[in-house]
């Protein structure tokens, strides 16, 4: 019985444990099922959100495509109306005759042929061999000081058989000297004899002769023309402020107050002002000019600090004349309108918006500058190397055409024909590439800015092919501005508007000397000596004193006259 009772007890224990395990398993199943249902609900909600986001994304993509198409249409519509965008296939035909963006097969073949001919010329061009440096002989007209060095131990047993000569350039500080103008006075002998017979208190009207004093650059000063020329050159050619030059004079024992030097400079500016105005007239009579502007700090006494002002620079490309223009430091469009209001011809500029008014002005042809466009793509190299490199390669090809013309020494007519045959097809394809590449560029990035800048000015940039005289870029006038940039680093600023106007006069005249290869020291000294006579005699033309005419007159004087 005990065994039976034990079995029953054991079975009940097993059944109880089974029931407990079953109940626990049921609870676990119920709990697990709730978690699964919860996660399934979350997954369904996420899927629904993803589907809604996909729908929104598709709508956004459609909207972006629509806006991109509208932007491309507006660009074509806006630029097409204002400046005849899309240069024609034929360089002699300046009107729109092509509405697509892709280059046609026959057009592409023409472009490839032009590029191939340019590359062939570049590869066949003889390379410049590096020659060994040759020591140049020193000019014969230089004064020579001889120094004889005898060897030791020479007596009557030695016979001189020759000599070795070594020449070296030496330098002494510039000499400052005094020019004494002595004018002898003369009286008639008979008057002097009568004078001796009279008492000392007696009076006699005797005739006295003395040579008139020549007109001096600054009559009320003791500064001669050569000294004034040196001061002007020191500041506006060698960028030495007056206070530094005064310090150099002290080393020579000459002490000149700063106020005196400033007065001398103001007097020279007044003396040369009429010549400057005559230069301006001659430059603006040209039919092809380049123009640019640069900053110059000017003291504003109301604000008690230096403010950024602007000097405009105009260059006559053919006569190699240049003048700087200062209009109270303004860079506004009204300045260039007033400056060029009567000008007729070609104006070459950068992309500054102030010049856009001349795009549709009758009698004026606006040219662009490829150097500025090239700089934009150079700046974009780090952002988009492939696209920027391709653009620079195309610009390099059109510059190679200019090298071909220079190497072959072509005249203006032949140069224009070469550009039309080789450069124009490159320009034609490059413009289409810019339009097709614009959507690929990062918005507001450097590459996008380079493309937009070049495309917006493409008609100006391509017009240089119309005349062999026209330059491909504006570098000539930019080179003229360099002395101004160097001056800013040295004399720092102009004291007021009058000082800036005086600086414009000096930069203009010295810039003409540099452009026409005239010695500025000789020119300034001679002109400061002669210009008082021109200012007193209006029958004389001040243009005779401008560097190019002054140089021609000097060369004519040196030409020997043949006696037949």
Contact 359, 83 (CB under 8 A): yes
Stretch among 70-84, 264-278, 449-463 having the lowest mean pLDDT: 70-84
148's tokens: 């004889």
Contact 311, 296 (CB under 8 A): yes
443's tokens: 């918005």
Give yes or no for residue 92 having a pLDDT over 90.
Answer: no
Q: What is the pLDDT of residues 316-346, one digit of tens each?
A: 999 999 999 988 878 888 888 888 888 999 9
- For residues 292 and 290, what is the distance between their CA atoms, to the nearest angstrom? 7
Radius of gyration for the chain, computed over Cα atoms and rounded to the nearest angstrom: 42
Taking 3-state DSSP, the helix, strand and coil percentages for the chain, each rounded to the nearest 5, stand at 55, 10, 35
CB neighbour list of residue 110: distance below 8 Å, 6 or more residues apart: 425
Question: pLDDT tier at 51 (50, 70, 90 boundaries)?
Answer: confident
Classify each residue of 122-154 as buried b or exposed e, where b means 16 or more C-beta atoms within 10 Å of its C-beta. eeeeeeeeeeeeeeeeeeeeeeeeeeeeeeeee
Helix (H, G, I), strand (E, B) or coil at 1: coil
Classify each residue of 37-63 as buried b or exposed e, where b means 16 or more C-beta atoms within 10 Å of its C-beta. eeeeeeeeeeeeeeeeeeeeeeeeeee
- Find residue 313's DSSP bridge partners: 292, 324
Helix (H, G, I), strand (E, B) or coil at 364: strand
Burial class of residue 563 (count of CB atoms within 10 Å of its CB; 0-12, 13-18, 19+): exposed
Report CA 460 to chain centroid distance, whole Å: 18
Q: What is the pLDDT of residues 492-506, one digit of tens each?
A: 567 677 888 888 999
Q: Which of 67-76, 126-135, 143-152, 344-353 has the highest mean pLDDT?
A: 344-353
Domain ranges of the chain: 185-222, 223-366+493-556, 370-473
Tell me the backbone φ, ψ of residue 186, rounded to 5 degrees.
Answer: -125, 145
CB neighbour list of residue 503: distance below 8 Å, 6 or more residues apart: 236, 296, 311, 324, 326, 487, 494
Give yes or no for residue 101 having a pLDDT over 50.
Answer: no
pLDDT at residue 70, rounded to an integer: 66
pLDDT at residue 171, rounded to an integer: 62
Site of tokens 């653009």: 391
pLDDT at residue 74, rounded to an integer: 62
**DSSP one-letter string for 537-554:** -TTS-GGGGSHHHHHHHH
420's tokens: 């039309």
Which segments of 380-465 does DSSP mark as H helices, in order? 385-407, 412-418, 424-437, 446-456, 458-462
Question: pLDDT tier at 13 (50, 70, 90 boundaries)?
Answer: confident
Q: What is the pLDDT of residues 138-167, one digit of tens each?
A: 778 778 888 788 888 887 878 887 788 877
- What is the CA angle 238-239-241, rounded to 5? 125
Stretch among 19-23, 210-214, 412-416 having the lowest mean pLDDT: 19-23
Give how far Cα 424 sits from Cα of 110, 142, 209, 392, 415, Å.
10, 53, 75, 16, 12
Phi-psi region of 225 (alpha: psi -120 to 50; beta: other; left: phi over 0): alpha
Reported as type and span, the H/E element at residue 185 is strand 185-187
Identify the CA nearest to 401 among candidates 420, 376, 428, 374: 420
Give yes or no for residue 356 having a pLDDT over 90.
Answer: no
Give yes or no for residue 449 having a pLDDT over 80.
Answer: yes
- For residues 27 and 8, what is the distance between their CA atoms, to the nearest angstrom? 28
Tell me the backbone φ, ψ of residue 112, rounded to 5 degrees.
Answer: -65, -40
What is the pTM for the complete model shown?
Answer: 0.72
Contact 463, 341 (CB under 8 A): no
Residues listed for the chain: 564
Helix (H, G, I), strand (E, B) or coil at 293: strand
Stretch among 27-31, 210-214, 462-466, 515-519 having the lowest mean pLDDT: 27-31
Reported as type and span, the H/E element at residue 248 is helix 242-251
Contact 313, 293 (CB under 8 A): yes
- What is the CA angle 199-205-211, rounded to 5? 125
254's tokens: 């000459």
């Amino acid at each position: 019985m005990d065994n039976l009772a034990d079995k029953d007890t054991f079975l009940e224990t097993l059944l109880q444990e089974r029931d407990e395990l079953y109940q626990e398993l049921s609870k676990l199943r119920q709990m697990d099922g709730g978690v699964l249902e919860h996660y399934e609900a979350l997954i369904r909600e996420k899927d629904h959100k993803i589907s809604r986001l996909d729908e929104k994304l598709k709508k956004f993509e459609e909207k972006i495509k629509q806006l991109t198409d509208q932007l491309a249409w507006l660009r074509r519509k806006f630029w097409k109306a204002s400046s005849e965008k899309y240069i024609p296939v034929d360089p002699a035909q300046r009107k729109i005759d092509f509405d697509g963006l892709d280059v046609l097969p026959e057009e592409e073949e023409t472009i490839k042929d032009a590029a191939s001919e340019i590359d062939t010329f570049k590869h066949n061009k003889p390379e410049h061999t590096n020659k060994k440096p040759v020591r140049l002989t020193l000019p014969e007209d230089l004064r020579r000081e001889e120094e004889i060095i005898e060897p030791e131990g020479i007596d009557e047993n030695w016979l001189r058989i020759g000599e070795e000569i070594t020449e070296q350039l030496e330098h002494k500080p510039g000499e400052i000297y005094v020019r004494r103008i002595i004018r002898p006075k003369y009286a008639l002998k008979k008057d002097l004899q009568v004078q001796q017979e009279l008492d000392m208190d007696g009076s006699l009207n005797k005739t006295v002769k003395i040579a008139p004093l020549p007109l001096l650059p600054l009559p009320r000063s003791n500064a001669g023309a050569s000294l004034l020329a040196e001061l002007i050159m020191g500041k506006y050619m060698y960028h030495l402020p007056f206070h530094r030059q005064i310090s150099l004079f002290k080393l020579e024992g000459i002490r000149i107050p700063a106020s005196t030097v400033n007065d001398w400079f103001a007097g020279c500016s007044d003396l040369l002002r009429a010549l400057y105005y005559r230069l301006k007239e001659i430059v603006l009579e040209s039919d092809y000019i380049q123009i640019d502007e640069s900053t110059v700090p000017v003291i504003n006494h109301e604000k008690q600090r230096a403010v950024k002002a602007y000097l405009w620079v105009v260059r006559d490309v053919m006569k190699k004349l240049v003048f700087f223009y200062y209009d109270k430091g303004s860079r506004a469009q009204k300045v260039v309108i007033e400056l060029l209001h009567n000008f007729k011809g070609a104006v070459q500029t950068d992309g500054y918006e102030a010049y856009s008014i001349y795009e549709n002005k009758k009698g004026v042809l606006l040219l662009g500058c490829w150097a500025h466009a090239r700089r934009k793509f150079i700046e974009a190299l780090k952002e988009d190397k492939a696209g920027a490199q391709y653009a620079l390669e195309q610009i390099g090809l059109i510059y190679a055409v200019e090298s071909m013309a220079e190497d072959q020494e072509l005249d203006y007519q032949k140069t224009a024909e070469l550009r039309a045959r080789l450069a124009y097809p490159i320009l034609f394809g490059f413009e289409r590439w810019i339009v097709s590449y614009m959507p690929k560029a990062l918005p507001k990035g450097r590459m996008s800015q380079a493309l937009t800048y070049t495309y917006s000015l493409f008609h100006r940039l391509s017009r240089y092919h119309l005349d062999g005289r026209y330059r491909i870029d504006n570098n000539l006038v930019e080179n003229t501005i360099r002395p101004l940039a160097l001056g800013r680093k040295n004399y720092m600023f102009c004291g007021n508007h009058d000082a800036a106007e005086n600086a414009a006069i000096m930069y203009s005249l010295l810039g003409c000397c540099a452009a026409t290869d005239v010695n500025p020291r000789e020119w300034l000294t001679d002109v400061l000596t002669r210009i008082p006579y021109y200012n007193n005699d209006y029958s004389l033309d001040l243009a005779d004193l401008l560097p190019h005419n002054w140089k021609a007159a000097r060369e004519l004087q040196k030409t020997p006259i043949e006696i037949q």
